[in-house]
Amino acid sequence: MPASVDLPQWIPPGVAGPVLVGFSGGLDSTVLLHRLAVDRDVRAQGLRAVHVHHGLQPAADDWAAHAVQTCAALDVPLEIHHARVQRDAGHGMEAAARHARYAAFEARLQPGGILALAHHLDDQAETFLLRALRASGVEGLSAMRPWRAHGTGWLWRPLLATPRAHLLHQAREQALLWIEDPSNAGLDPDRNFLRHAVLPRLRERWPQAAEGLARSAGFAAQASDLLAADDVEAFAAARCDDPAVVRVDVLGSLPAARRARVLRHWIATLGLPPLPANGVAYIEQMLASKAHDGDACFDYAGTRVQRWRDLLHAGPVRAPLPPDLDLAWDGTSPLALPDGGALRLEAGALALRFDAPLRVHARRGGERIRLPGRGHHHSLKQVLQMLDVPRWERAHLPLLSAADGSLLAAGDRVLSAGFDQWLRTRNARLRWTPPGRT
């Protein structure tokens, strides 16, 4: 019997990519999969499912077998993905499992495809409460969106306006079979505590509590969308050619509330973890500080926000080049560096190599270099300061030296007189790609 759960038509016109269902085998995803399986339009677009095997529960193999049987009965292609959950990532087991799950989904989402997840109205209410208790702003209180861009495709939550009680009624009416995760019955983590201890008490007093909380999330989403356009405009004035860098003076000219929103927008555009509740306050202190030596920084979740003079930089915390780095390079092919950076000798279509292999090494201090047009040597440290090379770049700056130890280049930021002339006569250039850049 076809499911009677209605799927709102949130898919915009012109989006007709294949649909990938995240299928855990639980109640919610079971109802969603059955509903999509009888939808002719979805079938025509292409319908697949993926089950993520976390290996965290003793019955995980049985759940995977159940997923195989269910999808076979519905003639829906299924892939079982055995995820590696990073138990020591420092964010808790639930967050680590969620990260592994979404990574599996995104890896299997075709360009322009649609990832369908079975979050429902009660999930939305729980998310709103969790975000409010963590002092989230309007973006956080927006909770989950029914439809948004995701990776190379889209994420669709067609059941977001449907209460779980309605899904349970439909599943029982159709005699569907689903699995129960025993971890959902405990009072830990926080979401389960809200689900089993808090929301039931709220419903005793306010029967429509979940609906009201979910509606508030919708209002927050509307407010967020209205503010976002002005955020983008303010951010455009503050950004630099390097997307990881913004201008302190422009940020300082903004009202505090707008500045906080622009900072969060900037971090989001870089694909970095969202700033924690105290993150903006720490950055405000950096912006107000008169110390411009690059020591002011804020670290969180493997991310560092750091000030250098009138610039603010954000990116993953990366280990510097090893102090004992010493590689031979002839220039014929790109040289991958241990920190994720790279060196290239570019000469158009011509094959080019150095007259003799050069040494590529890390800074050790005390280096000196003779610049083009100068008759004497300068301290490399002073040259880098004069060129305003930020400290976050200096820790990763590879040096090139000749066999006799004379310094030829510091990345592509500083070239010696002789090396600059060698490149010019061959119409070539040295290109350094810092870690994290494409």
Please tell me whether 29 is known to bind a ligand.
yes
- Beta carbons of 148 and 156 less than 8 angstroms apart: no
Residue 56: pLDDT band (50, 70, 90) is confident
Residue 5: pLDDT band (50, 70, 90) is low
What are the domain boundaries of the chain? 19-216, 239-316, 326-433
Tokens of 4: 């009677």
Range with the lowest mean pLDDT among 239-243, 288-292, 328-332, 387-391? 288-292
- Most confidently modeled range among 73-82, 151-160, 349-358: 73-82
Alpha helices in 246-390 (DSSP H): 248-252, 256-269, 279-288, 380-386
Q: Which residue type occupies 46?
A: G
| Phi and psi, residue 10, nearest 5° | -90, -10
pLDDT in tens, 332-381: 999 999 999 999 999 876 778 898 999 999 998 899 999 998 878 999 99
pLDDT at 24: 93
pLDDT at 88: 55
Please tell me whether 24 is known to bind a ligand.
yes
CATH number for the 19-216 domain, one of 3.30.1330.10, 3.20.20.120, 3.30.360.10, 3.40.50.620? 3.40.50.620
pLDDT above 80 for 6 = no
Q: How far is CA 376 from CA 59, 379, 386, 388, 417, in A?
A: 73, 10, 16, 21, 10
Tokens of 378: 């300068």
Please tell me whether 25 is known to bind a ligand.
yes
Residue 96: pLDDT band (50, 70, 90) is confident
CATH (residue range 239-316): 3.30.465.60
Contacts 24+ apart (CB under 8 A), 236-240: 238/262, 238/266, 239/266, 240/311
pLDDT above 60 for 9 = no
Instruction: Note if the pTM is more than 0.85.
Output: no
Common-topology check for domains 19-216 and 239-316: no
pLDDT at 145: 92
pLDDT at 297: 87
**DSSP codes of every residue in 158-173:** TTTTS-HHHHHHHHHH
Average pLDDT over residues 291-316: 85
Please tell me whether 136 is known to bind a ligand.
no
pLDDT above 50 for 223 = yes
Residue 41: pLDDT band (50, 70, 90) is confident
Closest Cα partner for 309 from 264, 256, 247?
A: 247
Half-sphere exposure of 307 (CA within 13 A, CB side): 21
Residue 289: pLDDT band (50, 70, 90) is confident
Average pLDDT over residues 119-141: 92
